[in-house]
């Protein structure tokens, strides 16, 4: 396909490590929050065991046909594997809530990025396609960072049921915008999820 800037109507972005930083320090804050909440509810929590489970869960979609994790299921699994108990619904929900708050609190947006997006938005429609099992975390962080008014369409893997590079998230954003692939540019940081997916 020949690229033509005159044909481009929308620029679509990945979220983590593209618009916002979501690297080791942010992930560590999430681990610390989960560990603190687990200790509060159940007592001692082995940090390395928690990390091993979370790392395995994060990679699971890429070894199971790109099916996104079910947030409730992976939270229950986490508690079961660490404490060898069947958690109550209230305990699962408390851990999901802690994870949600941690994500929303830890994400930051550079003022330069915000200004650039506002400038680009004068000419192009903007959208977001993100891999994350908790849609609420992404949506609320976008509101917090002032991105909700700039992004015309947002697709989150937790809503679609599949993670990038599966076609479904990309098809969903194109449907929301009523555009064809050749009318969009996609910007992301991950070779598998973003580059090969788009």
How confident is the model at residue 195, as a pLDDT?
A: 78
Kindly state whether residues 178 and 143 are assigned to the same domain.
Answer: yes
Please say whether the beta carbons of 153 and 171 come within 8 A.
no
Q: What tens digit of pLDDT does each residue of 62-107 get?
A: 999 999 999 999 999 999 999 999 999 999 999 999 999 999 999 9
How many domains does one find in the chain?
A: 2
Q: Is residue 2 part of a domain?
A: no
Q: Is residue 28 part of a domain?
A: yes
Q: Could you list the residue range(s) of the whole structural domain that residue 179 is in?
A: 10-21+109-196
pLDDT at 155 over 90: yes
Backbone angles phi and psi of 129, in degrees to 5 = -130, 115
C-alpha span between 139 and 134 (Å, rounded): 9
Tokens coding 175: 């449907």
Residue 122: pLDDT band with limits 50, 70, 90: very high
How confident is the model at residue 5, as a pLDDT?
A: 67
Please say whether the beta carbons of 190 and 163 come within 8 A.
no
Per the omega criterion (within 30 degrees of 0), is the bond before 178 cis?
no
Please say whether the beta carbons of 142 and 148 come within 8 A.
yes
pLDDT at 136 over 60: yes
């Amino acid at each position: 396909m020949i690229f033509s800037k005159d044909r481009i109507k929308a620029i679509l972005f990945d979220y983590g490590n593209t618009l916002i930083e979501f690297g080791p320090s942010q992930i560590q804050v999430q681990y610390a929050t989960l560990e603190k909440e687990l200790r509060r509810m159940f007592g001692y929590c082995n940090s390395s065991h928690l990390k091993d489970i979370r790392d395995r869960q994060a990679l699971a979609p890429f070894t199971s046909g790109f099916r996104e994790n079910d947030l409730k299921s992976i939270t229950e699994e986490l508690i079961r594997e660490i404490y060898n108990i069947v958690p109550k619904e209230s305990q699962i929900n408390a851990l999901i809530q802690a994870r949600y708050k941690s994500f929303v609190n830890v994400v930051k947006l550079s003022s330069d990025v915000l200004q650039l997006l506002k400038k680009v938005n004068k000419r192009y429609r903007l959208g977001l396609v993100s891999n994350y099992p908790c849609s609420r975390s992404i949506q609320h962080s976008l509101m917090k960072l002032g991105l909700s008014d700039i992004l015309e369409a947002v697709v989150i893997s937790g809503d679609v049921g599949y993670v990038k590079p599966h076609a479904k998230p990309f098809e969903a954003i194109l449907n929301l915008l009523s555009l064809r692939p050749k009318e969009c540019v996609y910007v992301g940081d991950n070779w598998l999820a973003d580059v090969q997916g788009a």
